[in-house]
Amino acid sequence: MLIAVPAETQSYEKRVAITPETVKKFKAAGCEIVLEKGAGEAANYPDAAYIEQGARLADGFATTCAEADLILKVRSLNADELTHVKKGVTVASLVNPFGNPLLQAYADAGISCFCMEMVPRISRAQSMDVLSSQANIAGYKSVLLAMEHYQCFFPMLMTAAGTVQPAKVLVMGAGVAGLQAIATARRMGANVEAFDVRAAAKEQVESLGAKFVEVAADADAEDAGGYAKEMDDDYKRRQGELIAEHAAKSDIIITTALIPGRPAPVLITEDMLKAMKPGSVLVDMAVEMGGNCPLSEADSVVVKHGVTLVGITNIPALMATDASSLYARNLFNFITPMLQEDGSLEIDREDEVIDAALLCSDGEFLKPQLLPKGGQS
């Protein structure tokens, strides 16, 4: 089987879908690898390191992918790239399934497309879970971004000139990214509070040494998949009052709250921002989905009402070396169970992991719920 890995072209994308480590593993599994020249450079994986592990290089997307059986990418194919791939090829990448206008076009092009965000979060598939591997990095880096813009210490310090109080950090949304942000801020010596609509998050937050800010809810806010549901207006009002109180006392706020397929919930309003201390920092990790604070701006750092708002849409790409390493391993772990002894790829739709991630195959779009009404994306 020939695996092609083209360079990423999306703005701010520095990750790569294969590393020298996974080239070696794919080679050992009997695959051939062709890499677009320079594809790993932004993530600090030079061409020579890939060649050393047995990959060969090609110029440009079209040549790299011309004969491929499988294309591995970080970002999904764009409209131009789609015109250069052969019918029947399999592609595995992040797809942004709730905001990608090309979903139907992938089916129409006759490719098989795996959406890595849709790999189910069951125990067997943990090693393939790109959402977790990348959110973990984003959570860690969000704290470093906050530290960079905050002009005070995080830990408490006793100095000859007197005592410095520790920073107060509020983390909103305690999923994978939020929990890593809590752990990182704790390691830096900050006092950390966190809250989440899911009651199950309380124990995890407390086990990291942070305080859980609790809003009493009548119904369970968690759906069958472990994700947050959208809350009713009464809950949102009570939540707003409690957040306002805690936000005003915080030096740093890191927001990670997301609801799959929906705009991000607004948690920090303009009035709450006005009540924060000058010099406070808010890192809005939900900015790509509209933001947990409506004043944050995508791919910008802005100061509003004295608060620095950090709105980076692709935080994992700021740590492209490790982000690529983990993402490439996720892909390897996802692909290898499908590899057959004769070198072909068997897409077994009886397998729940494969079936959940498969968006289209043989010209058919398999997840119609993702398409706007009328069937066209």
> Which residues belong to the active site?
121, 126, 129, 132, 227
Q: Is 226 in the site for ligand NAD (CB under 6 A)?
A: yes
Termini Cα distance of the chain: 31
CB of 312 to ligand NAD, least distance (A): 16
Three-state secondary structure along 245-258? HHHHHCCEEEECCC
Q: Is 291 in the site for ligand NAD (CB under 6 A)?
A: no
CB of 193 to ligand NAD, least distance (A): 13
Give 201 or 310: the residue with its C-beta nearer to ligand NAD: 201
Q: Is 227 in the site for ligand NAD (CB under 6 A)?
A: yes
Cα dist from 287 to 75, 154, 275, 284, whole Å: 18, 24, 21, 6
Q: Is 246 in the site for ligand NAD (CB under 6 A)?
A: no
Cα dist from 79 to 76, 94, 104, 106, 359, whole Å: 10, 15, 11, 9, 17
Three-state secondary structure along 290-343? CCCCCCCCCCEEEEECCEEEEECCCCHHHHHHHHHHHHHHHHHHHHHHHECCCC
Q: How far apart are CA 269 and CA 174, in angstroms?
A: 20
CB of 340 to ligand NAD, least distance (A): 27
Instruction: Supply the DSSP symbol for 114.
Output: E
**The one among 8, 13, 81, 129 contacting ligand NAD by CB under 6 A:** 129
Q: Is 228 in the site for ligand NAD (CB under 6 A)?
A: yes
Give 121 or 238: the residue with its C-beta nearer to ligand NAD: 121
Q: How many CB atoms lie within 10 A of CB 79?
A: 9
**The one among 17, 131, 188, 328 contacting ligand NAD by CB under 6 A:** 131
Q: Is 166 in the site for ligand NAD (CB under 6 A)?
A: no
H or E segment to which residue 133 belongs: helix 130-149
CB hemisphere CA count around 354 (13 angstroms): 15
Q: Is 257 in the site for ligand NAD (CB under 6 A)?
A: yes
Name the residue type at position 204.
Answer: Q
Site residues for ligand NAD, 174-193, by CB under 6 A, read: 174-178
Give 153 or 227: the residue with its C-beta nearer to ligand NAD: 227
Of 340, 375, 346, 372, nearest to 358 by C-alpha is 346
The single residue listed with the structure tokens 């194919």 is 77
Give 63 or 333: the residue with its C-beta nearer to ligand NAD: 333
Residue nearest to ligand NAD (CB): 175
Give 126 or 376: the residue with its C-beta nearer to ligand NAD: 126
Q: Is 135 in the site for ligand NAD (CB under 6 A)?
A: yes
Residues that bind ligand NAD (CB under 6 A): 121, 126, 129, 131-132, 135, 172-178, 196-198, 201, 226-228, 231, 256-260, 265, 267
